[in-house]
Amino acid sequence: MEEPFVGRKREFHELNSLLSRRTAGLVVIKGRRRIGKSRLVEVFAKDKPFYTFTGLPPTPETTELMQREEFGRQLGEQFGFPRLKMDDWGDLFTFLAKQTAKGRVIILLDEISWMGSKDPTFLGKLKTIWDTFFKKNPKLILILCGSVSTWIEKNILSSTGFFGRILHKITLEELSLPECHQLLQQMHFKWSPFDECMLLGLTGGIPWYIELMDPKFPIQDNIKRLCFNKDGIFVDEFKNIFHDLFGKRAPIYKRIVKALTREPLQYSELSKAINYSSGGPLSEYLDDLVTSGFIRKDHSWNFREEEESKIIHYRLRDNYLHFYLRYIEPNLAKIKRGQFENISMTAFKGWNGIWGLQFEKLVLNNRYLIQKALKVSPEDIVYDNPYFQRATKKIPGCQIDYLIQTKSNSLIVCEIKFSRDTIKANVVQEVKEKIKRLVLPRGFSCCPVLIHIGEVSEGVVESNYFTNIINFEDLFYQ
């Protein structure tokens, strides 16, 4: 029996709502590579007439003619015709529209940027055939899907040509923690919560990455097989992601994300770190990485005025990318020589310290669960982010792992800890020192919170310092 599909309830609700409409539906789905876009559509279209067309992966040799020929081949294969050779996208789309002119039908144009980016007339002809043919079938749903979110944003979602035609836009995010836990249970994992956090610290909530794990082996063996074996899937995954998404620009995008592996950086700091002019296209590249979901743009803000500060930090948010750049790429030569095959992962230099940073990203990417655990409603939040206070001659620098400002002038200061060893009472002094450095307006209060995986000592609990102590394991069941 086929296992039930995990998660995506909101997205299924949006797609299913199209089935009751009396007009054709045009839908755009975008999201990171491996996030499950095609799988979502396949499950939605199950037991319905469904036709799917996928663009060829980009290479220097791939031409617009090759893309049309491949589309024609897929057309012929799915409708029982010989290979269709047409010189014009308009002819290909017209043929498809005529074959799907009546009755319920779902069409997926997958990796649409690969399919059409080399032909400047591609989208215009698709729009024209939508207007003249596709939309005349009231039971037709056309789904445009792709991993190159920036191309979709610029050429479809922001295009006047498609204005008023798109019924639904879906940006597919990572699975939530409870959904990840549900997927692991479905895969018959019996690991400890700590090991589960290590898995998610590496993969984030990317379902395809999680499904690569083998429940018969410990987490360390899985990480070794995927990340430190010369044929490991995660050894080449980074190269595949950046080549497929960014093509010739991949090297500059890689320099940007690599510079952000150590710490968040302001725009000028990042420009200096990668030795790239702060003018021109750098802003565009950063926007592309934000849109793609790989980095995040974090604002500091003014507590009293409730305004965003001019201080902006760019932060690498993708768990896999961070792990690859920090721990796989520096060891690529050794990995390719097979030097890690007989080494225990726990003996890996800095092994325990690796997971603190990975865990912090996991927490921040699931911040809404923290808010829920703290019983803070979204409408009561003024701002929430990691918080940075720049040092001056009079003001000490300060960095808070995660800070929530509420409308009641309360600052919830969250300290994030990942440790196999028991978290000891010195964490209290660490957080006290951070709060002491914060420059607070009169009338503001601070509520320290500890978010952890692992054991917490009695000294921490008995200190009664933290207003909340959140065991991350509990968030798996929210």
Q: How far is CA 112 from CA 56, 144, 155, 284, 422, in A?
A: 9, 6, 11, 21, 50
At residue 82, the pLDDT reads 81
Same fold, 9-172 and 178-364: no
At residue 1, the pLDDT reads 46
CATH architecture of 9-172: 3-Layer(aba) Sandwich (3.40)
Report if pTM > 0.75. Answer: yes
Give percent above pLDDT 70 in the chain.
99
Asked whether the predicted pLDDT for residue 2 surpasses 60, the reply is no
Q: What is the tens place of the pLDDT at every residue in 108-160? A: 999 999 999 899 999 999 999 999 999 999 999 999 999 988 899 999 999 98
Among 39-53, 287-301, 418-432, where is mean pLDDT lowest?
287-301
Q: Could you write out the DSSP letters of every residue in 88-109?
A: -HHHHHHHHHHHT-SSSEEEEE
Place of tokens 């310290």: 353
Let me know the angle formed at the C-alpha of 323 by 319 and 325, rounded to the nearest 5 degrees: 120
For residues 185-210, average pLDDT: 94
Q: What is the tens place of the pLDDT at every residue in 397-421? A: 888 999 999 999 999 999 999 998 8
- Structural domain boundaries in the chain: 9-172, 178-364, 374-477
The CATH fold of domain 374-477: Trna Endonuclease; Chain: A, domain 1 (3.40.1350)
- Both tokens of 87, joined, read 């010189």
Average predicted confidence (pLDDT) for the chain: 92
Q: What is the tens place of the pLDDT at every residue in 446-458? A: 999 999 998 999 9
Q: How far apart are CA 335 and CA 356, in angstroms?
A: 23
CATH of the domain spanning 178-364, picked from 3.90.1150.10, 1.10.10.10, 3.10.129.10, 3.40.640.10:
1.10.10.10
Among 23-27, 47-51, 159-163, where is mean pLDDT lowest?
159-163
Give percent above pLDDT 90 in the chain.
76
Q: What is the tens place of the pLDDT at every residue in 73-85? A: 999 999 998 877 7
Q: What is the tens place of the pLDDT at every residue in 349-383? A: 777 778 999 999 999 999 999 999 999 999 999 99
